[in-house]
Chains A and B, each alone.
Chain A
Amino acid sequence: MNAPVHHQTLVTPAHPKALASGQFKVTARDVDVYYGEKQAIKDLSIDIPDRSVSAFIGPSGCGKSTFLRCINRMNDTIPTCRVTGDIKVDGNDIYDPNIDVVQLRAKVGMVFQKPNPFPKSIYENVAYGPRIHGLATNKTELDEIVEKSLRKAGLWEEVKDRLQHPGTGLSGGQQQRLCIARAIAVNPEVILMDEPCSALDPIATARIEELIDELRQNYCIVIVTHSMQQAARVSQLTAFFHLGTLVEYGDTDEMFTAPQEKRTQDYITGRFG
C-alpha cells in the first residue's frame, strides 16, 4: 500500500500515545458523502487513535453526524446516501463488499442522540445484542454479560433490583446509560456517540461524561457534541467540522487554546455557530 497521502485539511493528531504506537483505530481517506445530489462531506481524511475520546464539533449541518454514521455504515439505511473514499477500522476497509455489516456494527457500537431503549425490560435491552451474536451459551453467561455491561455503564446499582422492569420507565439519563450498556454488551471496540447528552439535564450529562471518561480506558470513543465545553471536558482530541469539511483535528487542549486555523478560532470564540 502507498504511504498515506495527507490531504491539506488533515492535521495529524498530536495525541502522544497514538503517535508513539503509530496505530490508529479508525482511518479515513478522501471520504465524500452525498445525499442524492447534495454533498454532505467533502474530501475528508482523519486518523482516530484507540483508547481515547475524539470529539467532533462544528456548526449544525456541517456533517458531523453524517461522518460518524459512516464509521459503522449506519448510512446504509438511507437509500439516497452514497459514500466514496476509504474508511478503515483496524486496517480493514469497512466498505469492502465482502465485509459483513452486522459484524461491523457489533464492533463499532453506537449511542444515539435521543435515548432509544427497546420497549422491553432492562435485562432484555442489554441481553439482546449478546443473544443475536451468540456471545453467551447459557443463561448464567448472559446474566454475567448483562451485569458486567450495566456495571461498566454505571447503572448496575440503580437497576439491579428491577431488571425485569421496562427500560422505557427509567429517567432520561438512566435510559442513555442503558443504551451505552446495550452498546457495550456486544464487546465493541469503537463506540460512536451522536450528541448523547443533548436530551439530558446537566446532572445526567455529568454522569454520562464521567462514564465516557472511564470507558476511554478500553474503547475508542468518538463523540459528536454541540457543546464546546463538553468537548473540552471529555475529549483528548477534537475535530472541527465546517461545511462538510474537516477543518482541523488535534489535541483538545491545543485546539481550544491555540487553534491552527482561522475558522476554528472564529468558531470557538463564538464568532459564528
Chain B
Amino acid sequence: MTEVRNELVKKRYAAERRFKFYGAAALTLTALFLAALLVDVIIKGIPAFHETSVEIDVKVDPADVDPANLPGGNYDKMIKEAFRAEFPEVTGRAEKKALTGLLSTGGADSLRSMVTADPSIIGKTVTVPVLLGDDADLFLKGLLTEQKTVPGKATLHIARLEGEEGFVLTGDTTGEAAEKQLGLTPGDIVRFKGGAVRVTGVQNGYLKADPVLPPDPSVSMLDAGQWDVVSFSVPEANRRINDNQALWLDQLKSEGRVKNSFSWRFFEAGDSREPELAGIRGALIGSLLTVLVALSLALPLGIAAAVYLEEFAPKNKWTDLIEVNINNLAAVPSIIFGLLGLAVFLNFFGLPRSAPLVGGLVLALLVLPTIIIASRAALKAVPPSITEAALGVGASKQQAVFQHVLPLALPGIMTGTILGLARAFGETAPLLMIGMVAFIADIPQGFTSAATVLPVQVFLWSDLPEMAFKAKTAAAIIVLLVVLFALNAVAIYLRKRFERRW
C-alpha cells in the first residue's frame, strides 16, 4: 500500500520536474531567438547612426556665388576643385573622377549653408566638412574590406620597365628571391612617399608591379621604414572602392582630416537615392500623421461603440451578432483593410493616394475592433457595485456611466488603445495597397501630401542593392523598435499605475 503510494509520489515529482524543465527550455529558446535578432539588428544598424566627412580647405570664389542668390552658388564646383587641389599628382580624367567620386553628391550642402549663414566668408578660404559618399563612408568604417598596413622590413629598389607602364621591385641581394627579401605577395600594394604600386607577379627573382598612384620618377630606392605594405582582404574587383580611392582615403585619414560624427542627418532628412543622404524624417512624420488620423478617429469611435454596447445596448441577437462580428473583424488580415481602403477611400471617394489621411483612415478601421474589445473589457472590469452605488444615490444611468464607470475604465481603455496604436504604427501591408510605398524624398507637409511610414521605409530600403542601405534598414528598424517599446512601456506604466483591485 505505502509502496504504491511512494511510487505515485515519485512519479508526480518526476512529472513536475519535467514540466519545469520544458518551461525553462522554451523560455530560454525564445529569449535566445529574441536576443539574436536584437543583437543582429543593432550591430548592423549602429554604423548608420554615424556619418563620415572630410575636412577640405575651400576658397569661396566670389565668381561662383551671386550675393543676391546665395543658395544658388556653384558650391559643388568649388568643393570639387578644392578637393582635387589636395591631390595635385592626380591628373588623368578617370582618376580625377574617381577622386571626386569619393565625395557625396550632397557634399556641397555644408558649404552652401555656411555661406548662406555668413556671406562674409565669400572670397576667403574656409575649412569645410564635406560629407563622403556611401562607399567611402563604408570603407572608412571598415565595412567594405579589412585593411592591413605593415611597414616595409628591407631596402626596396624600384625601377621603371623600359617602354612599359610597369615597374620591377627588387631587394638588396641579387640571387635571393625578391618576394622573400621584401615579404611581398602578388596583390599587395607598396606605398611610399610620392606613389604606390601594386605587385602583380613574380619573374626571375624580381617582382613585377603596376602603378596605383603613379610614383615620383626620382624615387629608385627606399630604406626599410620608408615604405608600407598595404593589403586588403577583399580583392579590388569585388569592392566598390578601388585601390586608388582606398589609398587616398587612407591618406586623408592618416592626416587626421576624416571626421566621424553622429548622423543628425539620419533624423533630419527625408528619403534619398544616395544612402549617405537618406534619413527617416519623412517616414517618421508620415507615421506620426497617419497614426494621428487613426487615433483621432478610432479612439472616440471605439470608446463610444464600447460604452454603448457594454452599458446601454439591449442584449438581443442583433447585439450578439455585432459582438461576434467585431471579434471577427479583429482577426481579419490587415491587407484586406488595405484593399478596402483602396476601393472605398481612393476609388470611390477619390481621396489622394499615398496620403497619411487615407493611411490613417485604413489604420483606424484596422485598430477599431481592437480598441472596442479592449474598452469593453475595461468597462466590464469595473464592478457593478460602482454603478449600483451611483444609481442608488439617484444618478441616472448615463451619469453613472460617464461619471464613474468610464473614468475607472479609462486606464484600461488607454492601455488597449496604445497597444492598438503600436500595432497600427508597425503595420505595413494595408498601406502598400493605398500607395504609401512610393519613393518620397520630401518630408510630408500635411495630411494629404504624399508620405510613407517607418515600417514601409524599412521595407523600401531593405530592397535596395547598396550596402549602405542595409545599415540604414537596420537603423530604421532600431528606431521603429524603440518607438514600439516606448509605446508598450507607456501602456505597461498606465496599467501598473492605475491598476485597481476591487
- Chain A residues with CB under 8 Å of chain B are 72, 74, 77, 79, 101-106, 109-112, 114, 116-119, 128-129, 132-133, 179, 182-183, 185-186
Contact = CB atoms under 8 A, between A and B. Distances in A.
B408 interface: yes
A104 B394 CA distance: 7
B392 A72 contact: yes
Kindly state the interface size class of chain B when it binds its partner. 20 to 34
Contacts of B397: 77
Nearest to A192: B392
Interface in B483-502: 500
A105 B393 contact: yes
A116 B393 contact: no
Interface in B345-395: 383, 385-395
Given A74-B391, A128-B390, 11 more contacts: A77-B391, A102-B395, A105-B392, A106-B394, A118-B386, A118-B389, A118-B404, A119-B386, A119-B500, A128-B393, A129-B394
B396 A116 contact: no
A129 B393 contact: yes
Query: What DSSP secondary structure best describes chain B's contact surface?
Result: helix
Nearest to B314: A79
B5 interface: no
A38 B108 CA distance: 87
Nearest to B397: A77
B399 interface: yes
Q: Which of B386, B388, B397 has the largest count of A CB atoms less than 10 A from its CB?
A: B388
20 contacts: A72-B392, A74-B388, A74-B392, A77-B387, A77-B388, A102-B394, A105-B393, A106-B394, A110-B388, A110-B392, A112-B385, A114-B385, A116-B386, A116-B389, A117-B389, A132-B399, A133-B394, A179-B389, A182-B389, A186-B394
Nearest to B389: A116
A132 B395 contact: yes
A110 B390 CA distance: 10
A182 B314 CA distance: 30
B315 interface: yes
B399 A116 contact: no
A135 to B, nearest CB: 10
A129 B404 CA distance: 12
Contact of A116 (B388, B395, B408): B388
B393 A186 contact: yes
Contacts of B314: 79
B314, B385, B387, B393 pick with most chain A CB within 10 angstroms: B393
Contacts of B396: 101-102
A114 B390 CA distance: 14
A183 B388 contact: no
A129 B399 CA distance: 11
Contacts of A116: 383, 385-386, 388-389
Interface in B393-414: 393-397, 399, 403-404, 408
A109 B390 contact: no
B388 A105 contact: no
Contacts of B392: 72, 74, 105, 109-112, 183
Nearest to B388: A112
B408 A105 contact: no
Contacts of A102: 394-396
Contact of B394 (A111, A114, A118, A132): A132
A72 B387 CA distance: 15
A105 B315 contact: no
Nearest to A77: B391
Contacts of A179: 389
A95 B385 CA distance: 23
Contacts of A103: 394
Nearest to A129: B393
A112 B389 contact: yes
Contact of A185 (B390, B393, B403): B393
A110 B387 CA distance: 13
A182 B389 CA distance: 9
Contacts of B408: 119
A198 B41 CA distance: 60
Contacts of A117: 389
Nearest to B387: A77
Contacts of B393: 105-106, 109, 128-129, 132, 182-183, 185-186
Q: Which residue, B387, B389, B394, has most C-beta atoms of chain A within 10 A?
A: B394
List of 10 A-B pairs having minimum Cβ-Cβ separation, nearest first: A106-B394, A129-B393, A116-B385, A110-B392, A105-B394, A116-B389, A102-B394, A102-B396, A186-B393, A132-B395
A132 B397 CA distance: 12
Contacts of A119: 386, 408, 500
B372 to A, nearest CB: 21
Contacts of A77: 387-388, 391, 397
A118 B399 CA distance: 14
A118 B391 CA distance: 12
B312 to A, nearest CB: 12
A177 to B, nearest CB: 14
A129 to B, nearest CB: 4
A101 B398 CA distance: 13
Contacts of A79: 314-315
A112 B387 CA distance: 12
A77 B404 CA distance: 16
A105 B397 CA distance: 12
A151 to B, nearest CB: 18
B390 to A, nearest CB: 7
A77 B312 CA distance: 10
A106 B315 CA distance: 28
Contacts of B404: 118
